[in-house]
Structures are given as C-alpha cells and as structure tokens.
A and B are shown apart, each in its own frame.
Chain A
Amino acid sequence: MTISKPLGRQTEKLTTGTQAVAQAVKLADVDVMAAYPIRPYDGVMQAVAKLIADGELDAEYIVAESEHSQFEICKHASAVGSRVFVGSSGVGWMYAMESNAVTPSLRLPVVAMIGNRALDDPGAFGVEHNDAMAVRDLGWLLFWVEDAQECFDATLMAYRVGEDKRVFLPVGLGVDGAFITHSQTLIKIPDQETVNEFLPPYDLGERLLHPDNPISIAPQANEDWVMEIRKQTDDAAKRVKGVIREAHDDFRRLFGRGGDNPFFEEYMTEDAEYVLFGMGSLGLPAKVMVRRLRDRGEKVGFVRLKWFRPFPDEELAEVLGRFRAVGVVDRDYAYGSPQHGGVLFTDLRAALYDAERRPRVVNFIGGLGGRELTPEMMDEMAYITKRAAAGETVPTVSWIGVRE
C-alpha cells in the first residue's frame, strides 16, 4: 500500500465521531443546517452550534419542530443552492421518511449523518443498521464509517460525490451510535486550502431554483412520467462508482489517507483462506480478532465495506473470489428474507451469483440494539466461517451473542 504524504498542514484534534463530522461540516463551509434532537445523532447538533457560536462557521442553523420538517428544510435549501447538512437517528430518521423518499428523485445532494440507532420499542438507543437501510433502494448513497477519522473523511467525500454533476444524489453517513458517536479519538484535520482543492463549490447549474432562473420543481407526476424519472435516477446511480473512484484518488493525493480501494478496506487478506465481512465500528474488534488469530497461525482476514450504496458488486466478486468462505456480519435483520439472513448477506450473495469463483457465504446476525460485538464473538464467527471454508456443514445464518 502506498500512501503519499498529505499536502498542506494537518492538525491533530481529540474528537468524538459527531465532533469530527462537525469539523468537516465547517471545512465544507455548509450554508444551512436544520436540527432536531435525538440520540445519538444530537452530538453533531451541539458541535455545529458551538462552531457557529464561536464564530468558526457562518451558517443558517434552523431548529425544526420535528424530523419531518428538518429534512424538508434541508431539501428545499439544497434546491436554492445551499450546501446543507442534516441528520437524525432511528425512529426520528423514519419520521422524516416522506421527505427522504423523494429527495433522490429531486436529485438534491443533501448530506445526512445517520447516527445508527435501533428502531425502538422499547426506547432502545443502541446501534442497529436498519434505520439507514430504510433508504437503500431509494437512490440514497450510503457510506458506513469505522471511526472518528472516517467520520471526518467521509463527510467531505459525501459532498464531493453527491454534488458531482453526474450524480446529484443525497448521501447518508452511517455512524454507529455510542461506539463512534460517544467516544473520542485523535483525528487529523487538513487545512482549509487543501479541502477547497478537494471540494469545489456546490453548483446546481441550470437546476438552481431562483427568480432569475424560472423553473418549477416536482410538479404533479402521474403514470406518464414516473417511470422515466426512475430511469434517470437509475442512470445516475450507475455513474456513482466512477465518481467515487475519482474522488478517492484525489482524496488520497491531497490528504494521504483512505486506503487502496475506494469501496472497501481489506485487512490482512493477502494469504487469507477465509474472511469476515461487515460494516461500521465492528471493524475495530474484527481487526483485533484477526491479529489474535493470525498469531495462532490462522489464515483469516477481514473486509470492511465502506460504500453500501452503490454496492460494489463486481469489485467484491473479484476480491472475495480469492477466499474459500466469507462470513458476513450483519448489524441488522431482514425478517422473512432469503435464508432469513441479514441485509448485507442477502446483497452480497446476489452480487456473487454470477461470479466465476464463488466462496461459501455464511451469515452472522449480531450486535443488535447496541450489543457489544467483542473480539470473542468475532472469534466464534471466524471459527464457523473456517469450518464452512473446509466444506463442513454449518448453519447458513447464526445469531451471535443472543441469550437463549
């Protein structure tokens, strides 16, 4: 792996994931933020409000009366040419769904931080990925971050990719509640000039809603129109991967971070026979487990998916084809789905169907409702995956860490 030296100056700062997102919001010079509190997203409300109060960021900060209005405000602000930042968690995000569902069709590059939270009841606020996944089929791009540094990096990336003229789609950042939102680590923050070089100003061009540019957005559309609108979004969604690649190259060149592959991270996979596969903060215990197992001579690795939408199907098929078995860790559920597996598992199996070399794919459901995924649980998953690699009969889907 070759990482070039970053251009410009970088400063070290101790931040939570939400404070890291706020730092990126500041350097992206966001114009409008609409806010409504819910745990664990709300840390970013406080962090951005403080930046504005301290005179570090000049932006409109609108406290809405609900998530529904919050997302509507940002959608509309985006249409008049403002770079916007919004976000929520769990059922709050779901309450905004009417707005979220139409944002991709309007082709407005709203950037939202989704502080992943269980979809209640009973008042659960730990991480689950089902909240963000509610928009997985609607045209939202979805990125899952691993830590506070990636919170910062992915926020800049979200604006760069979402606002690209070939894309113009909203981007959701999946940030695991508690583990990322409520813990602080040291991150590196680049200077404004380098960020400006990476991120051009938001420009809607001829789609800008402005009195000098008389257009009407989203008039009534019936069956004569809708399918064509869907096809346009489909084409845009197909262009995203190319745009991500370009942005990733620039990101690495300018900031000296980001790894070889724009879509996923491979960890100790070179000679691996089997790997675990997952998203978000579980990367940390997974890496700890992989190192421990490597010390015991196990040929195990880990692949962490960053971009879930667009799903890097071909890229994954090529890489995962090298292994005998893949154990997919889902921090979500998909009741009644094929094999009763998780969302990531089902998508990955679909992506591998046409591949020349198909590994065995087994599934683990774990860490729901914020339950800790420990290296020991990862060890258990690795063991089942290893047995799958050896051709043994193992359950296709296993729930890990559930009390009987």
Chain B
Amino acid sequence: MSSGTEANTPPVAQDSAAGRSSTEVREEAKSVEFTYRGIYQKTLAANLCKHVVMAARKRDWLGSTIQRYGDSPERNGVPAKQFAVIAPDEMRLQEHMAKYEPNELDVITVLDDTLCDGVESWAFYGRQPINLRLRRGGTLLVISNRSAEELLKVIPRKPWDWTLAILPGTPSLGGLWVYRDDGTDMRVLGAIARTRPDIFEFSAVESVVNEDEKLGEEHLAALRDGYEEVVIHEVAAGVGKEDDYEPVRLPGYKEMREGIIVEARKLGERNPDYKTSSDRTMRPVVNFDTCIKCRQCWLDCPDECFDITEEGFHPVNYDYCTGCGICAQVCPVEDCIVMVNDLEFIEEGNEDVFPMWKEDKEAYHRWREEKIANGRIEHHDYFNADTWAWSGGKQADRTS
C-alpha cells in the first residue's frame, strides 16, 4: 500500500488500556521483548522488532533491535528472544546498546503460549520465568486461546501489578521460508498499539503499513483485528504461580578445575543442571496397557527420555523431553503414544505419571483420554495450519 492516505481513526471498540496514555513518561527508553520458538518463529520475531522501531520513527524516536546471542534460534523449537528498544534520542538509546538484553521490559510478547511456563535457552541460564524482567506495571502479551485464569497457573507472580493481554490465536509460522504470511505480525502490532499506546500509537504503525509497498489491505485488516481482539486483564501483585526461580550460581576461576574439566554423570544418571523441557510444545502420553515393550521409543528418542521400569515399561522423563514427537511416530502400536498440547499438563508439571497408572489403571485411562480429547496434536501440526505448507511429511496443496 503506497497511497499515503490519511491515517484511519483507530477502532474504538473498547477503552484504551487503563492507566496509560501516550503522553505519559515519554522521555524514557522503552523495551519490547518477543519470546518465540527457534527457527519456526524467528522471522516473525525479527519482523515484529523491525516494525516496533519503524513505528517509533513516526514520532522521531530512534530504535535498535537485539537478538539474544546466547540463544540458538537456529535450533527447532528452542525458546529464543529478540528485543526492540526505542528511545527519544541517540544518548538514551546508547544506554541500551552493546548489551545482550535489556534489564527491564515494558512489554513481553509471547508468540507461543506453551512458553508461558518458563524458558530455558540453549545457553544455560536455568529455566527462567516468562516474565522475569517485566517492569513494574509492564505488559505480558500472549497469543493464546486459553483464559487468563489458566495462563496464570503457569505464569509466576510479581511483587507489583502488571497487565496480562491475551490476543486470541494459535502459534504462527508466519513469514518463515515458504510459509504464507498469516497476518500474525500485524495482529500483534495492533494489540501492542491498543494495550501500550506509549510504545506506539495505532496511527503510527498504520502509517508504517500504509507506506510499505509489500503490504496491503489484508494487513491493515489484521492490524485492526489485533487492536480490537486483544483482551486486557489487570493482574494484581502476588497473583500467579509461586515464583521458585533461582538464578544459576556460576563458579569463580579459583573454584573451577583447570583444563576446562567438569564432572561427568555416572552411568544411568541424568544431568540435573541441563533440562530441555522448555523446548516442548507438546508431550507424549503413553498407554501402558497396549504397550508391547518393543523398546522402539527408547531406541529412537533423540534425548534418551525413556526410563525402563522393573516391569519393562517405558515411561517418559518429562524433564528432558523436547516434544519432538519421534516416539509417537515410531511406536508400532496405534495410539499407544499420543502427542498432546503441553499446556494441558499445568497440574502435572513434569511429574512421572507411571506411578498413577500402577496405582489405578482406570483412573489413569480416564485421565489419559481426557488429555487426548482436549489437546491431541498430530505430528507437525502444532503450528498454525494456515501457514503450514508441509503436512504429515507430504507437500500440501498450496493453491493460493
């Protein structure tokens, strides 16, 4: 769209976010985080960061974006972060440059709601709460079809009030390689404009879209949709999951062994310091009654998650399961391993479910069937199917 028409009046279906106006504390630099799934959403996050800066330019602010370097966004599904920092002038922007990440975030945007229960990036920082660096009064914006109540069971509490904004939707692959743009970036930008006009006003981002020849009417529609659809919840101090995060203690050079040596694990032990479960969007649920103990899952799991019980069964150690779905694919028994959306397991966490089966098989089956009914995911079907051109290993019809 390059017509350069007069900016439309922003839709006014709901009141602007309570307590904030675009004229408040304008002199401060602002930081916006996008937490995303490695590879799948890297392009989306980069695109969003760029637009935050371009929208800030509309009021003559400067901006910069930072990819958190310790992340490894080239790895499938690994939680990763990119930041946009905007500031009224060069001096204040410099305070935020040559850094890995901002100290405090005004807005944290979560592009996949299964990230809400913590992120452990490839570079070891421990499993960090999703809202770790959220500033007092900050906004956590989540793309999700779940309720605030459900999400707050996994999002840690803060000692101050903050805002949870939910943009209805499923995780997107928008813009990745050959996948069709599905307007998610626009919807997120619309939602930010609505909840945080102090970052940018709707008219600012709208004029960025208007001036971009590659973007058209459908993008503007998505922008408006995000603005209108986002639902805002004020969260009081102390509401949310108990925060049990402890920063990792790193040793000094006098304590470390010389020659870059660390203790290895003994045979059969698992590494307590490096768990990979925050890579996971979905988890395998095993039917121990139909299992034929063939060990195929145990053999093929790339993360060696399957323990072997005395009885020869193979329960999953969920602390280490990345949710790749390989076990469900190789298991020869139909529906013996089923992949289920990870947010169906808020109560269970990473707990071993094998004892539950041993104790009461009927209860286990009721539990298992309910999980499957609510959150079953077919292989490669986790991300928004509208943009997914490859499905079930076959090339899908890409007619439009």
Residue ranges of A at the interface with B (Cβ–Cβ < 8 Å) = 14, 40, 121-122, 125-126, 147, 176-179, 182-186, 281-282, 284-285, 287-288, 291, 370, 372-373, 375, 402-404
| B54 interface hit (Cβ, 8 Å) | yes
Residues of A within 8 A of B69 (CB): 40, 125-126, 177-178, 182, 370
Q: Is the beta-carbon distance between A147 and B54 smaller than 8 angstroms?
A: no
Select B252's contact among A14, A125, A186, A404, beta carbons within 8 Å. A404
Residues of B within 8 A of A375 (CB): 95
Q: What's the Cα separation between A288 and B97 when bound, in Å?
A: 10
Residues of B within 8 A of A285 (CB): 98
Q: What's the Cα separation between A346 and B69 when bound, in Å?
A: 31
Q: Is the beta-carbon distance between B253 and A284 smaller than 8 angstroms?
A: no
| B250 interface hit (Cβ, 8 Å) | yes
| B62 interface hit (Cβ, 8 Å) | yes
Q: Is the beta-carbon distance between B54 and A14 smaller than 8 angstroms?
A: yes
Q: Closest CB of chain A to B2's CB: distance in Å?
A: 16
Q: Is the beta-carbon distance between B62 and A183 smaller than 8 angstroms?
A: no
Residues of A within 8 A of B57 (CB): 186
| B67 interface hit (Cβ, 8 Å) | yes
Residues of B within 8 A of A372 (CB): 98-100
Residue of A nearest to B83 (CB): A183
With contact pairs A126-B69, A285-B98 given, residues A185 and B64 touching in the complex (Cβ less than 8 Å): yes
Q: What's the Cα separation between A194 and B66 when bound, in Å?
A: 31
Residues of A within 8 A of B100 (CB): 178, 372
Select A183's contact among B95, B97, B253, B260, beta carbons within 8 Å. B97
| B264 interface hit (Cβ, 8 Å) | no
Residues of B within 8 A of A121 (CB): 260
Residue of A nearest to B91 (CB): A291
Q: What's the Cα separation between A57 and B250 when bound, in Å?
A: 47
Q: Closest CB of chain B to A99's CB: distance in Å?
A: 27
With contact pairs A14-B50, A184-B53 given, residues A403 and B250 touching in the complex (Cβ less than 8 Å): yes
Select B94's contact among A186, A288, A373, beta carbons within 8 Å. A288
Q: What's the Cα separation between A29 and B99 when bound, in Å?
A: 33
| B315 interface hit (Cβ, 8 Å) | no
* Contact indicator per residue, chain B 249-271, by CB within 8 Å of chain A (1) or not (0): 01111100000100000000000
- With contacts A184-B49, A403-B251 known, what are 19 further pairs, Cβ within 8 A? A40-B69, A177-B69, A178-B100, A182-B67, A182-B69, A183-B65, A183-B66, A183-B97, A184-B64, A185-B63, A185-B93, A186-B53, A186-B64, A287-B94, A291-B91, A372-B98, A375-B95, A403-B253, A404-B252
Q: What is the count of residue pairs linking A and B with beta-carbon distances less than 8 angstroms?
A: 68
Which of chain B's residues 48-90 have a Cβ closer than 8 Å to chain A?
A: 49-50, 53-54, 57, 62-67, 69
With contact pairs A14-B53, A404-B252, A404-B253 given, residues A185 and B99 touching in the complex (Cβ less than 8 Å): no
Q: What's the Cα separation between A402 and B252 when bound, in Å?
A: 8
Q: Is the beta-carbon distance between A282 and B260 smaller than 8 angstroms?
A: no
Q: Is the beta-carbon distance between A402 and B50 smaller than 8 angstroms?
A: no
Residue of B nearest to A399 (CB): B253
Q: Is the beta-carbon distance between B98 and A184 smaller than 8 angstroms?
A: no
Q: What's the Cα separation between A291 and B99 when bound, in Å?
A: 18
Q: Closest CB of chain B to A403's CB: distance in Å?
A: 4
Q: Is the beta-carbon distance between B62 and A284 smaller than 8 angstroms?
A: no
Q: What's the Cα separation between A126 and B70 when bound, in Å?
A: 9
Q: What's the Cα separation between A128 and B65 when bound, in Å?
A: 22
With contact pairs A122-B260, A186-B53 given, residues A179 and B98 touching in the complex (Cβ less than 8 Å): yes
Residue of B nearest to A186 (CB): B62
Q: What's the Cα separation between A18 and B391 when bound, in Å?
A: 34
Which of chain B's residues 24-52 have a Cβ closer than 8 Å to chain A?
A: 49-50
Q: What's the Cα separation between A287 and B91 when bound, in Å?
A: 9
The 8 A-B residue pairs whose C-beta atoms are closest, nearest first, are: A178-B69, A403-B252, A284-B98, A184-B65, A404-B252, A182-B67, A179-B98, A185-B64
Q: Is the beta-carbon distance between B94 and A182 smaller than 8 angstroms?
A: no
Q: What's the Cα separation between A402 and B250 when bound, in Å?
A: 11
Residue of B nearest to A404 (CB): B252
Q: What's the Cα separation between A375 and B65 when bound, in Å?
A: 20
**Could you write out 17 A-B pairs with CB less than 8 Å apart?**
A14-B50, A122-B260, A177-B69, A178-B69, A182-B69, A183-B97, A184-B50, A184-B64, A185-B63, A185-B64, A185-B97, A186-B53, A186-B63, A186-B64, A287-B94, A291-B91, A403-B252
Q: Is the beta-carbon distance between B65 and A14 smaller than 8 angstroms?
A: yes
Which of chain B's residues 221-260 have a Cβ closer than 8 Å to chain A?
A: 250-254, 260
Residue of B nearest to A291 (CB): B91
Q: What's the Cα separation between A182 and B97 when bound, in Å?
A: 11
Q: What's the Cα separation between A147 and B93 when bound, in Å?
A: 13
Select B98's contact among A125, A291, A373, A403, beta carbons within 8 Å. A373
Residue of A nearest to B262 (CB): A122
Residues of B within 8 A of A147 (CB): 97
